[in-house]
Chains A and B, each alone.
Chain A
Amino acid sequence: MVQGAGQSVEIQGLSKRFGDVVALDRVSLTVRPGEFMALLGPSGSGKTTILMAVAGFEQADTGAIRIGGRAIDRLPPHKRDIGVVFQRYALFPHMTVAENLAYSLRRRGIAAAETARRVEEALALVKMEGYGARGVDQLSGGQQQRVAIARALIFRPAVLLMDEPMSALDKKLREHMQMELRLLHRELGATIILVTHDQEEALSMADRVALLHEGRLRQMGTPAELYRAPADAFVAGFIGRNNFLPIEAGPPLRLRGCDGDLVGVLAEDSAAPRPGDVLAIRPEHMALLPPEVPGGEPCRVLETAFGGARQTVLVEAAHHRITVEAAVSDHLWQPGQAASLHFNPRTGRIFPAPGPQ
């Protein structure tokens, strides 16, 4: 299937209230042509509302949406030419797989022969050849999802919206479908906006991620940017895991109860520490060494969890509980053991106040 190149989606100052609830608060973001963008955020953060506004099912209170540079606010949803994959797929149960796929082509008055050809092509695209005559209730969850994707793509939309399309699948199948979706995206070049509250899914699949919280856009960037340089404590806590340690007035400024050097721990682009700020440091940016190794913070192991190549260890140091990821190669830590905790240089970041987790 030859796909027209994807188009840009520009969202400007989008706001939406439902009664007292502010679902969206002046959200602006631009998705580049052909880009795979993930909208990530906790439940109720407004992800679905953005998607519904783009698709035209929900009218925003203020703001504008442009697709390929064209304002679409006045365009009714059935004329927007946007593919949508719904969370529970919304396949038409009274039609076969082929009829589901042909639905959009019929609406566009495409001839029967051409329709049949494109249905076959779409089935091949999602590796479902030979399933055209099946009823949709005779498909497994993964197959239903492929059909839903094929149905949303068959009329060659420039933009594809997906609302948590993987949430109904089990873990194995989900990972498989994530890979397939990436391949499909590369093949087709359509712009994709994927809604998810699964950060692994967002980070592993998308070119860029927009992180939402309580209707506001908190940060937008590549997965690596969000991971390495979170804009605030919320992002730092939401993406990956983080320890937040309070900073005490100096001189010199230091972590409360610790003697170690603070400045050496900070990443180069981190803000300068002030009293009352917190240091965010990730579990994988610390090392747990035997207690006799000098230069570390003395600590005690409280609890451990085995995870294959790594061991997650909860330690207590100077009355802080800190999570550490330790490599398993040499040594497995046991609760009650003493240890010394070492911060890797240039990995910590300073944030004004602990954000909501």
Chain B
Amino acid sequence: MTVATRTDHGRAAMLLPVLLLLALGYLGPLGMVAWTSLRRAGQTSLAAYAEILAQPVFLDIFLRTLTTAGIVTLFCTAIGYPFAYLVATRARSWAGLVMALVAMPYLTSILIRSYAWVAILGGGGLVNRALMALGLIEDPLRLVFNSFGSYVGMVQVLLPMMVLPLYAAMRRIDPTLLRAGASLGGGPASVFATVFLPLSMPGLAAGAALVFLSALGFYITPALLGAPGDYMLAQAIEVRVTTLAEFDVAAALSWMLFAMVAMLLLFLRRWIVPLGEEQPTARPSRVRAVASTAAIARLVQRAGDRLAPLAGPLLWIHGMLVLTFLLAPMVVVVLIAFSSAPYLTFPPPSYSWRWFVAFFRDTNWLQAGWFSLWVSTAAAVTTLAIGTPFAFALARGCFAGRRLLWLLAVSPMILPHIVIGLGLFFTFVALGLNGHPVSFWIAYVVTGLPYVVIVLVAALGRFDRDMERAATSLGAAPLTVFRTVTLPLLAASFATAFLFAFLSGFDDLIIGLFLSSPRGTTLAIRMWEDIRLEISPKTAVVGALQLAVLLVVLGARGLSGWVGQLRRQRTSS
């Protein structure tokens, strides 16, 4: 056998490192949160929960969190569905490029993107200036530091999470089905409603579930762009810990948030799991029946058939606007980085290198930068080292509970980081490790693991095992097979997994806020403090540098792949 598991023994050995890590860095900390929430004045009590339930303000916060997540999900659906439809059906030749652009915001952190929105939406920002220049308004509108700003920021951050699974589901729809529908007498709108829409439901469900669950635990964006008093749950928790030191209440709130998300996650897992490995299990047939029997639906469809010719141009305009919306923060960040102004303003009065110089002269920032860099690198290397055998065991083994293990390893991506951060904080304080680089290292291995598992399990699912068998039959021992065949063929997936694992640590703010100490401060925390105190363009410099480095790395890879393809096409034709 190759690297596959032959015995239960081998499988256990492959799963063990990740299970240990999850026990120490994830399940243990969650247990600590539960434990802390039940302790007051050295005794076990439900006082914290009672306090929460007794105060109307907490009810408000819960409701606000739920409605915000719901509204953000609705917006993401309304914006993302037509966009994914456009890319998957009408822009097939451009699809690769467009989807790369959609994924590009992931190259800058949520923190930096939210910061850019301040510049775009603020009183002296881009939008207000444009509107005033056009004479549409006299005084600047309040577009930020209220729920509008918060929605804009959250939708921008979460939109790719909606578009990516939707697009994947739509690409799986066989175009001949649509032609079959048309040949059976369906107009464009009715074919869409009776064939395309039902078949895209699994993607829509997955996207909506991911967006909603992620939005529930959002912290950075509402904290930066929302109204100061309009707390969401995560902010309420943070305030209880950092300013009020009400650990038991914070823990109880965290546990309630965690329980809510975890229950929804378990409930919705049928829709989410297909993303990673298996075929979609959400059944489209019922939806079709509903859509086709309702008389109203038929009327709407008939009207839709008339309007269908208009749909094309509208979709393209929509697509352009969505791409602008997704990419604007990054463009703005790069421009601000070159600002000559001593404070954040956009567009900048003129351009200079002054803030780059300032960044590279500031030892505080540089130290934080180095710390982030090497802690995240160490974590990403570790994640890959322990995540690879884990992914192999999951993808190749056939044992009870593998879907559950997959979900467990992937869940740190979806469950609120504020809860994980709080749990790690309690744990590391108890262990006397808080603020030590080791604490960051463990935390970032936990947050990076989902990406490694998702990417590798999916890649292994597509991998033709006969390649490994062929190598074996030619005389290669298991490790040689891995080195000479499996690894090179999956190199791109390993690189992707590494990159995402690295970024999950490097871009983290929330967990870092709990773990930071004079012994260890990350770059994200430096930026956070700077944004909160003075908002200088230094944060933009970090964003621009990060973007430049990643684009060079990815561009070089993409370019070499592209050139190789071109060369091959030449020689073969």
Contacts and interface: CB of A to CB of B under 8 A. Distances in A.
A331 interface: no
A90 B464 contact: yes
B496 interface: no
A80 B475 CA distance: 8
A81 B466 contact: no
B467 A77 contact: no
A55 B572 contact: no
Nearest to A87: B466
A155 interface: yes
B485 interface: yes
Given A138-B568, A138-B571, A138-B572, A86 B469 contact: yes
Contacts of B477: 76, 78
B568 A78 contact: no
Contacts of B469: 55, 57, 77, 84, 86, 90
Contacts of A56: 472
Interface residues on A, range: 20 to 34
Interface string B530-562: 000000000000000000000000000000000
Interface string B256-296: 00000000000000000000000000000000000000000
Contacts of A78: 472-478, 481
Instruction: Tell me which of A84, A137, A152 has the highest count of chain B C-beta atoms within 10 A of its own C-beta.
Output: A84
If over half of B's interface residues share one DSSP class (helix, strand or loop), that class is named, otherwise mixed; here it is helix
Contacts of B475: 78-79, 81, 104, 107-108, 155
Interface string A81-98: 111101110111110000
Nearest to A82: B473
B473 A92 contact: no
Instruction: Tell me which of A87, A104, A108, A134 has the highest count of chain B C-beta atoms within 10 A of its own C-beta.
Output: A104
A107 B474 contact: yes
Nearest to A99: B484
Contact of A77 (B472, B484, B488): B472
Given A92-B485, A93-B489, A94-B489, A103 B474 contact: yes
A76 B4 CA distance: 14
A88 B473 CA distance: 15
A107 B478 CA distance: 12
B486 to A, nearest CB: 11
Interface residues on B, range: 20 to 34
Contacts of A91: 470
Instruction: Tell me which of A76, A77, A79, A91 has the highest count of chain B C-beta atoms within 10 A of its own C-beta.
Output: A77
A92 B474 CA distance: 12
A151 interface: yes
Contact of A88 (B1, B466, B472, B476): B466
A88 B464 contact: yes
B473 A83 contact: yes
B146 interface: no
Interface string A56-67: 110000000000
B135 to A, nearest CB: 60
B157 to A, nearest CB: 37
A132 interface: no
Nearest to B478: A78
A157 to B, nearest CB: 9
Contacts of A103: 471, 474, 476, 484
A142 interface: no
B1 A57 contact: yes
Contacts of A86: 466, 469-470
A94 B571 contact: no
A76 to B, nearest CB: 8
Interface in B453-494: 464, 466-467, 469-478, 480-481, 484-485, 488-489
Nearest to B467: A90
A33 interface: no
Contacts of B470: 84, 86, 90-92, 151
A82 B481 CA distance: 16
Contacts of B489: 92-94
Given A77-B1, A138-B571, A90 B466 contact: yes
Interface of A: 55-57, 76-84, 86-88, 90-94, 103-104, 107-108, 134-135, 137-138, 151-152, 155
Interface of B: 1, 464, 466-467, 469-478, 480-481, 484-485, 488-489, 568, 571-572
19 contacts: A55-B473, A56-B472, A57-B469, A77-B469, A77-B473, A78-B481, A82-B473, A84-B469, A84-B470, A86-B470, A87-B466, A90-B467, A92-B467, A92-B471, A92-B485, A92-B489, A103-B471, A104-B475, A108-B475
Given A78-B477, A78-B478, A92-B471, 13 more contacts: A77-B472, A82-B473, A84-B473, A86-B466, A86-B469, A86-B470, A92-B467, A92-B470, A92-B489, A93-B489, A94-B489, A138-B572, A155-B475
